Each structure stands twice: as C-alpha cells, then as structure tokens.
Chains A and B, each alone.
Chain A
C-alpha cells in the first residue's frame, strides 16, 4: 500500500476539516480554554498533544493484536500516561517557562478525550502508519484551534503576539485599550463557539 494513498490522505485530512476533533466532535474543549490566553503556550500545548496522539496511536496500533480485550482501556491509559510524563519532563528540562505556564494542563493531556477517543476508535483497528497519520491529523486539528484562539486572545487582551508588541503605540494614543475580558477563560469559550459557527457555515454545506 502506498504511503500516501487516497485512503491515507483522507485519514490525515479529515480530522483537519469535517471530522475535526474540536469543531466536529467537540472533544478536548477543557484544555483548549485553559491554555490559550497567550500564543506561545498554545503552540507548545498543540505540539505536545500532536506528538503524544501520534506516538500513542502508533504504539497502540503496533501492539493492538496482543492487548487483552478486557483491559484494553487500562493499557491505552498506561501508554498515554507514560508518553505524557516523558513530554512533561522534557518540557521541564528544555522549556521551563512554558512548562510553568502550562502547569497542570500538560499532565491533564492524559485525560484529553481526543487521545483516548482516537486510540479506541482508530488505532485499535488500524495499521501503524495510518494510525500515525490519524494521530498527527487530529493533533494538528487541535493545535490549529489553540493557535487561532490564542492569537486572538493575546492580540486583543494584551496587544502582543508571542510576547512582541503587535498594536502600535499610535492606536493607544487614539484611546484604544486592551480588552481584559479576553484574558479570561470565558472569552475562549465564546471564541471557540465563533470558530465552530464559521466552520459549520462554510464547510458543512456540501455534506
């Protein structure tokens, strides 16, 4: 089977569009609200989830035929927990500031429904390579929303992007003020709602 056959492409692109984990399946909302007040933690969180979904998918897919059916959720959880712990340790060693900002949410990736959902729905039935693509696709889909919401919140809430000043001083002189509401989790929920609205309005028509 070709590495990028039509089927495999769909496995990769579907979660970026119609089967999007947040927009379509509405999974993983909790962490999407918590870590998006600035762009940098949002990007790191998105990458972490992508890496963990991809590799846990691959590992579970490789051992899928040996897993006893009765304890399959336990096995999935152990694999995910091990990967999350490793990622969290790596963040602490190489990106300490970001790991402090993400605080408990790195650990909570373990309970992110996207991971368990993909393991149970996809990796348990499919070969490693499609499972890898599915993991990367879903992770990137999740990361995409985090980055959109994070960028809007940081820009409007703090007037910066990735910590750099994005709104010129001239605007502040004209009476523009940062919107403190944007730094609150509630605004993330409203923004995610808006993104889902736009997404459904434009991409669901043909379906």
Chain B
C-alpha cells in the first residue's frame, strides 16, 4: 500500500508525531544537562565577583578556592546582592549592579573599600548584547574597568558621586566614558546611581557586625537613609 503523503490527515499526523518526538528529546537533554549548566553559571558569577576584586584570569578550581578564601558573607536586600569580602586584612564590600545598556541589559559588580570615605576597589561589568568593539568594551576592556579604581563613590551627604561622563571635570569621582559608546556609558552611569544609592545604608544593616569594626564614625550619617526605606 502506498501512503498518500499529500493528504491532509497524513500531514497533520506527521507534524504532530514529529513535534512530540522532538519535544521529548529536548526535554530529556535539558533535564540531563541542567545540573552541569547551573554549576557553570554559579562558577561564572564567582569569577565575575573575583574580577571586580582585581583577581582576574583564574580558572575553575583556583577561582573556587580563592572565592571561598576571600568572600566572607553574602546577603540580599531589595533584590540586590551584597558580598562582604576580606582581602589581605582589609574589608571590601562588593555590590551587584543591574541596569540597562543600549540594546539589552547590563550588569556588573563593584567593590568598595575604606568605609569612612568609600572608594572603588575594583569593578567588573558584563552585558547581554552591546555592540562588539564599542559598547561591549565595558566588559572586554580591563583597562576601562580599572579606570574606576580609587574613585570616590559618595559625596558629603551620601549621594552617589561616582559617574561616567564625556568630559572629566572632577577626576576624583568621574570616569571617562567609552569612546563611541555614549549610550552604553550612560547606561553604566545610570546603573551606578541606581544601584549604589542605598548600597552603603543597606550594607550597614546587612553586615552590621562586620561594618561596625571599620566605620563607627559614619553610622550616624548613614543610618537615617536606612530608616527612610
């Protein structure tokens, strides 16, 4: 018997069977590989955090070991993650950043130290779909990320001073934007403002015991902000 492969019933049946087979296959592959993928994502996050602490270029096992050694405490507030780290006896706070670039989301981690007058210890940025060679430089250019090091983060009233601008007027707090990527740089600027506004206050409440040791003088200045929330 020769099947009529052009009849409607055959076409509908054929496509239904095909789709079911493919669906089962994909579901199986996804389930089987999920644990490994999750482990990879977790390791990548740790590497990004280490990058922001200027510990770059570590591979899998090294990164795990270093992370366990350096990061003392993790906490989450308002959907943002904070990491309390200790490098060579100095307390460093890493804040997770999330924002919007030109074509898609951008993210990153920024490390701050010196509680009396928080300064950037290191920074790492990531992006989903910025233009290669232009906006993507925020991730690819280590040189650009290192420009943040040593900049003051807050002004006198704990407003965010750290910014990315076209023309640097105050080298203590401003970073030159990426040439040819003004909109992505603006995104980074907005992300810093957005994510760091309450970072210090949040960090105080989250890591009170650790923070107390390093900045008793600042508690008064920051505490009102924390209460406003």
Contact = CB atoms under 8 A, between A and B. Distances in A.
Interface of A: 34, 37, 66-71, 74-75, 78-79, 81-82, 85-86, 89-90, 92-94, 96, 100, 103-104, 183-185
Nearest to B59: A97
A92 B36 CA distance: 8
A90 B33 contact: yes
Contact of B6 (A69, A94, A104): A69
Given A85-B26, A93-B37, A68 B14 contact: yes
A37 B15 contact: no
Contacts of A92: 33, 37, 40
A69 B14 CA distance: 12
Given A66-B14, A96-B40, A89 B33 contact: yes
30 contacts: A34-B132, A37-B132, A67-B5, A67-B14, A68-B5, A68-B6, A68-B10, A68-B11, A69-B5, A69-B6, A71-B11, A75-B15, A75-B18, A81-B22, A82-B22, A86-B25, A86-B26, A89-B29, A89-B33, A90-B33, A92-B40, A93-B37, A93-B40, A96-B41, A96-B43, A100-B44, A104-B129, A183-B132, A183-B133, A185-B133
A interface, by DSSP: helix, strand, loop or mixed? helix
Nearest to A65: B5
Contacts of B18: 75, 78
Given A68-B11, A93-B36, A82 B133 contact: no
A103 B129 contact: yes
A81 B41 CA distance: 24
A78 B19 contact: yes
Nearest to A34: B132
Nearest to B47: A97
Contacts of B25: 82, 86
Nearest to A74: B15
B interface, by DSSP: helix, strand, loop or mixed? helix
Most buried by B among A37, A92, A93, A183: A93
B22 A94 contact: no
Contacts of A93: 33, 36-37, 40
A119 B133 CA distance: 35
A100 B44 CA distance: 10
Interface string B150-192: 0000000000000000000000000000000000000000000
A96 B22 CA distance: 24
Interface string B109-140: 00000000000000000000100110000000
Nearest to B3: A66
A75 B19 CA distance: 9
A78 B26 CA distance: 12
Contacts of A90: 29, 33
